[in-house]
Amino acid sequence: MSYLLGVVLFALAILISVSLHEAGHLLTAKMFGMKVTKYFVGFGPTVWSFQRGETEYGLKGIPLGGFCKIVGMTPQDDDVEPGDESRVMWRYPVWKRTIVMAAGSITHFALALITIWILAVSAGLPNPDFPTTDAQARKEPAVIQLSPCVVPENTLRECTPADAASPAAQAQLRDGDRITSINGTPIGNYGDLLTTLRSLKPGDTTRIEYVRDGQAGSASTVLAQTQRPPLDDPKGAAAPVAALGVGLVPSTPTRVTYGPVGAFGATADFTGQLAVGTAQALQRIPQKVPALWTALTGGERDVDTPISVVGASRLGGEAVQNNAWLVFFMLFVSLNFFIGVFNLLPLLPVDGGHIAIAWFERARSWVYARIGRADPGRVDYLKLMPFTYAVILIGGAFTLLTIAADVVNPITLFSR
């Protein structure tokens, strides 16, 4: 039940953010005096609507987005009534048209920033000092977290009777113990622990010195066997190695909370990281298409593959089911930021395509004026329709592929 509630809540959050996107277009267009005839949430048949002034507001039957109708977005539009010629969008200065078209993405960014700030002062943001790479983790003190069993590398699942029991648990070590030596070899950090264990063999009886609550202790255990790649080549071929059945407890917290003022700086820093991550994700999309197809045809789903609104909603459901509300809101932040950036790409039919054409027209007019030639006028959108249809076709196919993969082989964040 909580899973279904999470799915519904996340889908509703997406619908609200998209509706606010269109409201951004609506409000800025009206502010500049452009004529807006329709603002609807959803698509398809009209469920309910009302007229206020020259604009019809309402709700459509398919809650998968929304739209805002601004008269005369291009010179080729035929929706201009007599007397409205001066209020068509394409006649307005380029800076006003840019604000109107960018207002949707700005709304998404505003939603993301506000949510990040609220999280910064409440639940906390990811700690920038938290070790996120193998190199950083190996510099941490060797404070351990016990695993119930020894599971082969890159396998995320619950223990089975076939898995070797954790040698550390059999030695009655506890979470939070700091390993100080293995068979007399000093252990200064987690990297030393890994290196020393790799020098031993499965089945070796090993003496472990540790510190627990400030008190020194020792224990003996027999090392288990598992499969691991070389320490200096994480992508190399796995080979049998000795295992203690422990993980690392980092010395720094995973999250940091801030005061109302300090949260602004933390929000800015986190947003910068999010921008870099979003740009990198966009660049990786073409190379992830084969991985999506593999997932759809029965292969393992790469957690780094793109997800659709369906997949995001499912992850939102998992987050609520596991009481992981921070994950829920971080998904909301990431999705809004991604949509905001995507809509600014200089491609028709998204908003960034209209902005790019507006500035191209302005730059071309400036150049022609400097060389003494007549202004060539506006771009003919009809000539761009084949390119626009190609973008729609590719985007639609990619969307269907991600939706299908999210239904057939979804990404999961929590083990079951």
> Catalytic positions, please?
22
Token couple for 17: 């953010």
Q: What are the start-end ranges of the H helices in 139-261? A: 167-170, 190-198
Q: Which residues, other chains included, contact 360 with Cβ-Cβ below 8 Å and sequence gap of 6+?
A: 379
Q: Which helix (H) or strand (E) holds 18?
A: helix 2-32
In contact, 346 and 355? CB cutoff 8 Å = yes
Token couple for 206: 């090993």
Preceding omega of 349 cis (within 30 degrees of 0): yes
Query: Mutual orientation of helices 2-32 and 94-121 as an angle, nearest 10°?
Result: 150
Q: Which helix (H) or strand (E) holds 205?
A: strand 205-212
Token couple for 105: 């993405």
Q: Is the alpha carbon torsion for 188, 191, 194, 199 positive or negative?
A: negative
Which phi and psi angles does 330 have, rounded to 5°? -65, -35
- Count the Cβ atoms, other than its own, within 10 Å of residue 276: 10
In contact, 54 and 87? CB cutoff 8 Å = no
Instruction: Report in angstroms the alpha-carbon separations of 182 from 32, 150, 207, 214, 276.
Output: 73, 19, 6, 18, 41
